[in-house]
Amino acid sequence: MKTIKAAFFDIKDIEEKYLKENQPADCEFIMIRESLQEGLDKHLDQIKDADIVSVFTTSRAPAETLSKFSNLKMVTTRSTGYNHIDLEYCKQHNIPVVNVPRYGDCTVAEFAFGLLLDVTRKITNAYNDLRNGIINIQEHLGLDLNGKTIGIIGTGAIGTHAIKIANGFCMNILAYDPYPKKELEEKYNVTYVNMDTLYRESDIISIHAPATKENFHMVNDEAFNKMKKGVVIVNTARGEIMDTQALYIALKNGIVAGAGLDVLECEDILNNEDQYLMKVDCIDPNCLSKTLLNHKLLDMPNVIVTPHLAFDSVEAVQRILNTTMDNIKGYLSNNIPNKVN
């Protein structure tokens, strides 16, 4: 039987250990620490004939990159989202793309509230001041979550867990989703409303919607202008859902009091700045302006930014790897699960 070659990119220690221990006998796993773009440049001769390519969201997989694999049979992303992969190219070349539909429901929701507490109680700012020998309690006056109205955009698996946590903080819960869940209304006293009402009445807005074409820049200038002055925004979904320039302006003019962001538009440039600076002519000019705005956000004291790691718990990574292995075994048995194209 022919040995199947699978190239894994964006690999960390915990993933490498798992893959070595669970590699099927008829597979050759090649594990690469770098992103797809950087790893391909370094290891092209070794991996160009790979049957399977496995990436994470920190890798972009456009047609020009995927076309360098002469024997590509499947692309697997170790994430729920797959907007970093050129689905049209894969469809045209009969290459199935598979994902991990669920792995971080509670993981991401918990992290969203970690960001929320950091912003509303100014925890990072207080810690940084204390390290510098500054103690100014009044400067770090915060807000209670108890009794506040939180607007949850998207009540899928992660949004549902966010609602459960909000209920534990005794918050008033508004929600928007095209497909309301009656059980959330009954069990957690959730009120489904339209987007305008959610924007108008929420003290806090937490985004848990998917990155679809319809949701691109859903939170934009028009949306911010409908919000309460002093609203707090949390985004652990996808950067493209929120217009970065509109957020920056809303922060500067005080409509938004603070933001907790685990995702940004064009975040892969921030994650790989040295690599992109070597190829600056290849960067979308729109992404260059977004990157400048991202650096502005990083400098704002009322904004907490983390590098897209809300998913990253020991338990969630284990679920990701288990499902990824199931996807590969499905390919081997001609019964591929979790296809998205």
Domain ranges of the chain: 4-103+314-332, 105-305
Worst-scoring range by mean pLDDT, 215-224, 254-263, 269-278, 323-332?
A: 269-278
pLDDT bin (cut points 50, 70, 90) of residue 286 is: confident
In whole angstroms, what is the distance from residue 163 CA to residue 143 CA?
19
Worst-scoring range by mean pLDDT, 44-58, 184-198, 269-283, 315-329?
A: 269-283
CB 233 within 8 A of CB 211: no
Residue 277 has pLDDT above 60, yes or no: no
Question: In terms of residues, how long is the chain?
Answer: 341
- Do domains 4-103+314-332 and 105-305 share one topology? The answer is yes
What does the pLDDT read at residue 269? 81
**From start to end of 155-207, where are the E strands?**
172-176, 191-192, 204-207
Reported as a single tens digit per residue, the pLDDT across 314-337 is 999 999 999 999 999 999 999 999
What does the pLDDT read at residue 9? 98
Other Cβ atoms less than 10 A from the Cβ of 197: the count is 15
CATH architecture for the domain at 4-103+314-332: 3-Layer(aba) Sandwich (3.40)
Q: What is the DSSP letter of 242?
A: B
Q: Is the pTM of this model over 0.75?
A: yes
Other Cβ atoms less than 10 A from the Cβ of 203: the count is 20
- Amino acid identity at 119: V
What does the pLDDT read at residue 77? 98
SS (H, E, C) 78-100: CCCCCCCECHHHHHHCCCCEECC
Would you state the structure tokens that stand for residue 25, as one six-digit string?
């006998």
What does the pLDDT read at residue 288? 87
pLDDT bin (cut points 50, 70, 90) of residue 45 is: very high
Domain 105-305 has CATH 3.40.50.740: no
What does the pLDDT read at residue 280? 60
Average pLDDT, integer, range 116-125: 98
The count of C-alpha atoms lying within 13 angstroms of the C-alpha of 263, restricted to the half-sphere facing its C-beta, is: 25
DSSP lists the bridge partners of residue 204 as 150, 232
Reported as a single tens digit per residue, the pLDDT across 205-253 is 999 999 889 999 999 999 999 999 999 999 999 999 999 999 999 999 9
> Cα 89 vs. chain centroid, distance in angstroms?
23
Phi/psi of residue 6, each to 5°? Answer: -125, 125
In sign, the C-alpha dihedral spanning 63, 1, 12, 263 is: positive
Reported as a single tens digit per residue, the pLDDT across 142-173 is 999 999 999 999 999 999 999 999 999 999 99
Q: Is 94 left (phi over 0), alpha (psi -120 to 50) or beta?
A: left
Closest CA to 323 of 338, 310, 311: 338
Q: Which of 34-43, 74-83, 242-251, 306-315 has the highest mean pLDDT?
A: 242-251
pLDDT bin (cut points 50, 70, 90) of residue 71 is: very high
Percent of the chain with pLDDT over 90: 89
In whole angstroms, what is the distance from residue 314 CA to residue 301 CA?
30
Average pLDDT, integer, range 253-257: 98
Residue 199 has pLDDT above 70, yes or no: yes
Residues labelled catalytic: 238, 267, 308
Other Cβ atoms less than 10 A from the Cβ of 182: the count is 9
In whole angstroms, what is the distance from residue 104 CA to residue 70 CA?
33
In whole angstroms, what is the distance from residue 38 CA to residue 158 CA?
32
* Three-state DSSP state, 106: helix
Would you state the structure tokens that stand for residue 66, as one six-digit string?
């995927």
CB 198 within 8 A of CB 176: yes
